[in-house]
């Protein structure tokens, strides 16, 4: 198979790049090793409603994702924030009415972020999309790049975009091998949210709202360190979600005990109903090998300064490009950062192809 631009990775960055290239009439193909699309976006459907186990928020001042949602005729709604915030201190004591609404002003997507992925996939020709296809080798042919998959399929491309976390991307087999400086630079770039685990508990009623609570909670004791309302915009099932603060090394092979501790904590914070969810979902990204590696097991405590380092520029005479959200210089790590990178690369690879 031959193509002009080969995209590796079917998360938001890869799919939005494909969407942009398709709109420009370009020739492209996209490989994704998972059976599903979305990458770090993962939405579970319960009773017709979407619940995000990956990113769920975007904000005013992020123009690309707002424009894309409008283009795809999707609907946003404001994150719930009205009501009291709970603080659980080091002793386990519960304090209400602590501080401001931490997520006021954030937006969520009706149907979850999976609705954005589904809509993007729906704009793309199925013949160009290759899920459940694992890339094993990239070979520089001096005037093109040959990609080889685990099934033995070979694709020749003028340009290749690695829409994967840099730490995962640099683990591919490159021929000739990437320089040690390039590999070191890739490994220094933290994969955003890769060390985290996220829990979502669903309920028949929003009992916390009825008690005057927003669903926001901060805890210094228990597995969940930060909790927010994750309910749909206007109906049930209703939900709370939390980020797990327990170190990844303590979470591994300990799902049953972790879920029990989460239920106990939700009961302590929100009352007996909190301890008895209809469904408790848990996604540990630290052990998703298509997202994280051992370097990511230590969860980030602040937002890194992202962007494309000099060592990851002009690779293989500019035929090879890193293209994940971590390459975004302004919004790196966010959903907007994935689109920032896609827009930048769409212009670059198309222009380079027109003017070799």
206 — alpha (psi -120 to 50), left (phi > 0) or beta?
Answer: beta
Helix axes 63-71, 335-354, angle to 10 degrees: 80
Q: What is the average pLDDT across 266-289?
A: 97
Q: Write out pLDDT tens, residues 40-88.
A: 999 999 999 999 999 999 999 999 999 999 999 999 999 998 999 999 9
pTM score: 0.95
Task: Quote the percentage of the chain above a pLDDT of 70.
Answer: 98
Q: Is pLDDT of 95 > 50?
A: yes
Question: How far lies 88's CA from each of 150, 157, 172, in Å?
Answer: 49, 55, 44
Give the per-residue pLDDT at 354.
Answer: 52
Distance between CA atoms of 138 and 156, rounded to whole angstroms?
10
Q: Scan for tokens 């990511």, then name that residue.
A: 296
Q: Is pLDDT of 355 > 60?
A: no
Distance between CA atoms of 78 and 171, rounded to whole angstroms?
39
Radius of gyration of the chain from its Cα atoms, rounded to whole angstroms? 21
Q: Write out pLDDT tens, residues 323-351.
A: 999 999 999 999 999 999 999 999 988 87
Q: Write out pLDDT tens, residues 197-238.
A: 999 999 999 999 999 999 999 999 889 999 999 999 988 999
- Omega prior to 182 cis, within 30 of 0: no
pLDDT band, residue 322 (cuts 50/70/90)? very high
Q: Please tell me whether residue 31 adopts helix, strand or coil conformation.
A: strand
Q: Is pLDDT of 296 > 50?
A: yes
Q: Scan for tokens 């719930």, then name that residue.
A: 80
Distance between CA atoms of 52 and 23, rounded to whole angstroms?
28
Give the per-residue pLDDT at 157.
Answer: 97
Distance between CA atoms of 327 and 166, rounded to whole angstroms?
9
From 141, 135, 102, 109, select the one nearest 30 (Cα to Cα): 135
Q: Is pLDDT of 161 > 50?
A: yes
Tokens representing 123 are 């704009």
Give me the helices (H) in 81-235, please.
Answer: 114-122, 166-169, 180-188, 207-210
When the pLDDT of each residue in the chain is averaged and rounded to a whole number, the result is: 94
Give the per-residue pLDDT at 356.
Answer: 38
Distance between CA atoms of 282 and 297, rounded to whole angstroms?
16
- DSSP state, 315? B
All structural domains of the chain, each given as residue ranges with its CATH number in brackets, are 1-41+113-190+304-356 (3.50.50.60), 43-112+195-287 (3.90.660.10)
Question: How far lies 42's CA from each of 1, 198, 201, 261, in Å?
Answer: 30, 11, 15, 23
Q: What is the average pLDDT across 266-284?
A: 97
Q: How many CB atoms lie within 10 A of CB 163?
A: 31
Distance between CA atoms of 308 and 325, rounded to whole angstroms?
10
Give the per-residue pLDDT at 96.
Answer: 87
Q: Please tell me whether residue 110 adopts helix, strand or coil conformation.
A: coil
Q: Is pLDDT of 6 > 80?
A: yes
Q: How many CB atoms lie within 10 A of CB 266?
A: 27
| C-beta of residue 159 within 8 angstroms of C-beta of residue 143 | no
Q: Is pLDDT of 353 > 70?
A: no
Q: Which residues contact 131 (CB under 8 A, 6 or more apart)?
A: 10, 32, 34, 35, 36, 37
């Amino acid at each position: 198979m031959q193509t002009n631009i080969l995209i590796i990775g079917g998360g938001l960055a890869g799919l939005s790049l494909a969407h942009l290239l398709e709109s420009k009439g370009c020739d492209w193909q996209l490989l994704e090793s998972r059976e599903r699309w979305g990458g770090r976006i993962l939405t579970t459907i319960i009773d017709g409603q979407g619940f995000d186990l990956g990113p769920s928020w975007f904000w005013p001042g992020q123009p690309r994702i707002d424009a894309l949602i409008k283009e795809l005729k999707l609907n946003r709604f404001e994150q719930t924030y009205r009501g009291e915030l709970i603080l659980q201190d080091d002793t386990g004591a519960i304090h209400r009415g602590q501080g401001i609404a931490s997520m006021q002003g954030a937006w969520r997507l009706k149907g979850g972020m999976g609705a954005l992925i589904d809509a993007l996939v729906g704009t793309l020709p199925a013949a160009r999309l290759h899920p459940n296809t694992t890339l094993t080798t990239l070979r520089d042919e001096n005037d093109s790049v040959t990609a080889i998959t685990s099934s033995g399929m070979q694709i020749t491309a003028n340009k290749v975009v690695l829409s994967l976390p840099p730490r995962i991307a640099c683990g591919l087999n490159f021929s000739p091998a990437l320089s040690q400086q390039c590999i070191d630079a890739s490994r220094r770039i933290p994969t955003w949210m890769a060390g985290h685990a996220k829990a979502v508990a669903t309920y028949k009623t929003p009992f916390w709202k009825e008690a005057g609570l927003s669903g926001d909670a901060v805890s210094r004791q228990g597995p969940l360190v930060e909790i927010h309302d994750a309910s749909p915009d206007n109906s049930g099932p209703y939900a709370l979600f939390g980020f797990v603060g327990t170190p990844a090394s303590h979470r591994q092979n300990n799902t049953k005990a972790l879920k029990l501790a989460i239920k106990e904590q939700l009961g302590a914070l929100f009352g007996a109903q909190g301890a008895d969810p209809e469904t408790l979902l848990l996604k540990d990204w630290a052990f998703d090998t298509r997202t994280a590696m051992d370097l990511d097991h230590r969860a980030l405590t602040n937002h890194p300064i992202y962007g494309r380092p000099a060592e990851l520029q002009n690779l293989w005479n500019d035929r090879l490009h890193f293209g994940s959200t971590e390459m975004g210089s302004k919004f790196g790590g966010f959903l907007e950062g994935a689109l920032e990178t896609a827009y930048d690369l769409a212009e670059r690879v198309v222009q380079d192809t027109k003017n070799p």
